[in-house]
Chain A
Amino acid sequence: RKEVEQDPGPFNVPEGATVAFNCTYSNSASQSFFWYRQDCRKEPKLLMSVYSSGNEDGRFTAQLNRASQYISLLIRDSKLSDSATYLCVVNPGNQFYFGTGTSLTVIP
């Protein structure tokens, strides 16, 4: 079983839409969780850390469900500039495990 699993998409949504991505992880001892954004042929960039209580940064909301072992990312009021691949990252201790990424395209 993979450490981290994501729906690869693609998700094609109109501008202004709300879109949600989920990511499941297998190691219940995982301690740190992140969402990264990766544009085509660029390096991943940190979007936000995911805290147990959930956290929000502008149009982006991240949540963690330890009981079900998943993390989620909600994007409200999608912009064209949100088009990218979103990677969830889980750290169970000494390694960081990345999902395969979910591709998002926001359509005018």
Chain B
Amino acid sequence: DTGVSQDPRHKITKRGQNVTFRCDPISEHNRLYWYRQTLGQGPEFLTYFQNEAQLEKSRLLSDRFSAERPKGSFSTLEIQRTEQGDSAMYLCASSRTGGRITDTQYFGPGTRLTVL
């Protein structure tokens, strides 16, 4: 399977714990995005990388959230001191710049986080 993969698919944690999610983009894609989606809403942009550089961060991304893409390939999203309001589906997407299909995003299956 050469699509976007995310791990884990589900995470249940207690309030106050730290969690880390991983995203592996499509191999030739240089852009990687993180989104959060709650029930009945569309995905909300969190941040994106072009190669290893984090180019944009949403105001939604509090100090408890951090994302990395150290080698320009996979990315991690860490949430520190989780709160119940962090419960959501965390989606990763990747895209390739240049050419006619620039910026068409392909999504991974998501990581569903439940904070108890």
Contact = CB atoms under 8 A, between A and B. Distances in A.
| Smallest CB-CB A-B distances: 4 pairs | A98-B42, A43-B107, A94-B56, A98-B43
Contacts of B107: 43-45
Interface string B28-50: 00000101000011111100100
B109 A100 contact: no
A87 interface: yes
Given A32-B103, A34-B104, A43-B107, A95 B58 contact: yes
A70 interface: no
Chain B: number of interface residues, binned into ranges: 20 to 34
B87 interface: no
B105 A100 contact: no
A46 B44 contact: no
Contacts of B43: 44, 87, 98
Given A87-B42, A95-B58, A100-B41, 12 more contacts: A8-B40, A32-B102, A43-B91, A43-B107, A43-B109, A44-B43, A44-B91, A45-B107, A49-B101, A96-B103, A98-B45, A101-B42
A88 to B, nearest CB: 9
Interface of B: 33, 35, 40-45, 48, 55-56, 58, 91, 101-110
Contacts of A87: 42-43
Interface of A: 4, 6, 8, 32, 34, 42-46, 49, 87, 91, 94-101
Contact of A100 (B40, B45, B104): B40
Contacts, number: 48
B108 A100 contact: no
Contacts of B55: 94
A101 B105 CA distance: 17
Nearest to B42: A98
Contacts of A4: 42
